[in-house]
Structure formats: C-alpha cells, structure tokens
Amino acid sequence: MKKLREECGVFGVSLTADEAVGIVYNGLLSLQHRGQEGAGIATIKDNHIKCHKDVGLVTEIFPQKLPNMMKSKVAIGHATYSHEDVAMRDNTGPFVREYLTGRIVVSHNGFIRNSEEIKERLKALGVYFKSTSDGEVVAASIGYHVSNEKDLIKGIVKACNEFIGAFSLIVACGDGRIVAVRDAVGFRPLCVGKSKNGVAVASESCALDATGFEILDDVLPGEVVLIENAKIVSREKLINTINVADRMHGLCAFEYVYFARPDSFVDGLSVNQARFEMGKALAKSAPVEADFVVGIPDSGLEAAIGYSQGSGISLATGFIKNRYVGRSFIYPTQEQREGIVKVKLNPLKNIITGKRVVLVDDSIVRGTTISHIIKCVRQAGAKEVHVRVSSPPFIYRCDYGTKIGDEKSLIARNLTAQQINKKIGADSLGFLSVDDLKEVCKGNTKQLCMACFAGYGEDKK
C-alpha cells in the first residue's frame, strides 16, 4: 500500500583487494528501501564483466550466488524500482553493453524523458535492446558515444548532454575504471566515500556507513567523478545541459519527505533532522488538542517525534508493523491489496481506545492508504482521529522525482483540504506549507525542486 514508489538505489566500489562483491551486496541491502522489485551486481576484472541480476529482494537473489560470483576489486550494483507495472529481469539493472572496443556496465537512478527518442535513433544504427527500461537506453547511449569518441569520459559527457531528465549514474568499464555522474540539476542523490580499502559511490550515505566508508562529499550537480585503482583520480563539472530549462531547481524534496532513509545525509542535510523539523513546524501551523501523537510507520515516525515536541502532546507507539508481509502489489485483486494494510499495520488498542489521536504521516497522494489506516484506528476504539501531514498537498505530476502516471489520481489536485478531510474520514486535517518545508530544508547545500507541491512553468495553472 505504498503511496509513492521509491526510486532506484545504486552502489559501486573500487578496492585494493578482491572483496567487492560482498561489499556491494551489503550496500544494496542498505538501499533496499529505494527499490524492491529487482537487484543486480556486476563484477569487473581483467576486461571481463559478469553480471547477475533477477527480480525480487536482495536477500532473495544473492545469498546462495555470492560464493560463486567472480571475485574482483571493482563491482557495481543496483536495487531496482521499475516504472513498469510488472517487474521483469530484463528491466533490472545494472545494464551491460558491448561496443567496438570494449564493454561497460551502468547503474542508473532516475528517469530519462526522451529515452524513446534516443532508443529509436540508436535502433536505426543497429543497436539492439532487450528491455523497456530507460536504464538500458542510458547504457546503450553511453556505449555508443564512448566507441565514437574513443574516450570514456568524453563519451559519457556527450551521452549525458543528450539526456532530458533525472540521472545519477555509476558507469564501470572493463579496465576497472568507475565514473560517477549526476545530472546538471541534481534531481537524485549521489555521494562518494572513502576507506583505507578504497572508494565507494552510493545513492545515500547510509550505504556508505553500513559498508565502512566515510562520506567525502555529495557528487555535485553536473559533476563527473573518475575513480581508478581505489582512488579518486578527477572530479570535474562537465555535464552542462540544464534539463527542462529553468523550470526545475534541484534535488527532489521528496528525498527528505519520504524516499531517503532517515540515517542518511543528502546534499549536506540530515534526513532525520529534516523530518523532525517538519513535524515541529507542523505542530506550530496546525495545532490540535489530543491525548497522543502517533507516527505512521515508517516514514511518519520522525515527523511524529517533532510534532510531539513542538506541541507538548505525548508521543505513543500506536501501531505494530508486520515486517514479514510481502509487497502488496503481488495481491491479485484490489480488495486484497486494500485489506493488506490491516496485516501490515495493526493498531494497539490499549493505547488508542477512548483517546484523541494525532496521526502523523509523510504525505497523502491518492488518499486510499490513509483512509484505510483511519478506519482501522477508529475500529480500535479511537475517540477522535486527527491527521497531520509533514509535506504540502501533492498537486502536480513530476516525471523527474515523484513518477505519477495520472495527475487526476492525486487527491489534492481535485479536492480542498476540507474535502479531503471528509473523504478520508478524519476529524481534522493539516498539511505542512511550502514555505515551512523550504525553511526546514534550508540546511540543504543545493536548491530543492518542489514542483509536485508548487507547480512550475505551464503546469502551474
């Protein structure tokens, strides 16, 4: 019953010893929240690239395979969120491509708006495709340009300057070099870390922490980082294309609201601290009299702590989360998918019965999940149910951060806050304002894109 589907997670290492596979596996475990539909690991040694990938979770795919995978100093991995309705092995990263003088493998987090146009152009040149993923288009385009330019960095830069959209990339070639690239706007996060054993690149710093790397810095928007023989060789700002002109402003704000893990730092700002401050600001702007504040697991928990401290209302654990339930999209009927919320989140009746409860969640997208949770809380005996949302109303579609197929499905696009409150069955409803979200995230060292909340260009009508 996820309200939004997370973005992909990418991870790669260049080490002094042949320990890359195990470290990349652990890195992907730490990034599993960013993609649960498939995963892959590619190992690189002596101009050979071997890639194992499949649909499912990291723990379902690799444990029995790891001992037999090629030992190497260089490897990259990918935890996949698919833009398609059905997960497919061929749509899972990383993507290996051959060209005239070698092979490359690419892990891509983002969305390329003009991927079909690039794909058709490459097809006309004889390039083949096995998937419907824009990640394969990214890999094929880079391979094509590297071959033409006869230079890894020049080829990557030329390909990336053709992409319109969001991309944080890890590119590895057969000779063991790794290149980390972030688009010129910086929609998706990417960071680099270092240890005594080498260098790592990851979507989030939590993966660096888990694998023993100290974060050095975020990859800057438009920056290309070359890593070779376990060292950072160069860092240059080479990607110049500003995607979709001046309509976008930087990192997707939903990284702080929902996507990133709370123990990560993204562009210099603690995700945990940002969510705490969101809740604190919400307590000031949308106060209510209640007995308990309850965070909806997992991404509403930090904001609930902030709301509790900001309001002086006691914080309580109101739900037990079943962490062993499968992904809800595997259930064949809508009735079963809606009912799974009762299995995933079970209200604690001894806490809730007869009490006025403030439920804190990170966002409301379509309104279906929160409606079911409110219903469950009322059935558990709550006297009143007040909902507080630690982000602004989600009004506009955005292909670059929060991929929403149909803008009409966004409940705040069609209804006022008062109408939403009535529809979801709450006693009151409050959202964080855009200005408060900007203030909370001012510690971010880059600009933020809030297009899904505030709109931009011709979409803001």
- Cα–Cα distance list, 454 to 35, 58, 331 (Å): 27, 36, 34
Which residue do the tokens 């002094």 mark? 16
Amino acid at 217: D
322-327, long-range: CB < 8 A, 24+ apart: 322/346, 327/36
> Looking only at Cα atoms, what is the longest distance across the chain?
71
- Cα–Cα distance list, 332 to 57, 225, 329, 339 (Å): 20, 44, 8, 12
* Residues 6+ positions from 252 with CB-CB distance below 8 Å: 166, 187, 188, 259, 398, 400, 401, 402, 448, 449
What b/e readout covers 217-245, taking b as 16+ CB neighbours within 10 angstroms?
A: bbbbbbbbbbbbebebeebeebbeeebbe
Q: Find the helix packing angle between 368-379 and 417-424, rounded to 10°.
A: 50
For residue 359, the cross-strand partners are 294, 387
Look up 441 and say whether it is catalytic. Answer: no
Helix (H), strand (E) at residue 169: strand 165-173
- Cα–Cα distance list, 354 to 313, 316, 349, 424 (Å): 16, 14, 9, 20
How far apart are alpha carbons 418 and 207 in whole angstroms?
41
How far apart are alpha carbons 227 and 168 in whole angstroms?
16
Q: Are the C-beta atoms of 267 and 444 separated by less than 8 Å?
A: yes
Sequence-ordered strand ranges (E) for 261-368: 265-266, 269-270, 292-295, 319-321, 345-347, 356-361
Spatial CA neighbour of 358 closest among 317, 379, 391, 387:
387
* Residues 6+ positions from 431 with CB-CB distance below 8 Å: 286, 389, 391, 392, 393, 417
Cα Rg for the chain, rounded, in angstroms? 22
Please list the active-site residues: 8
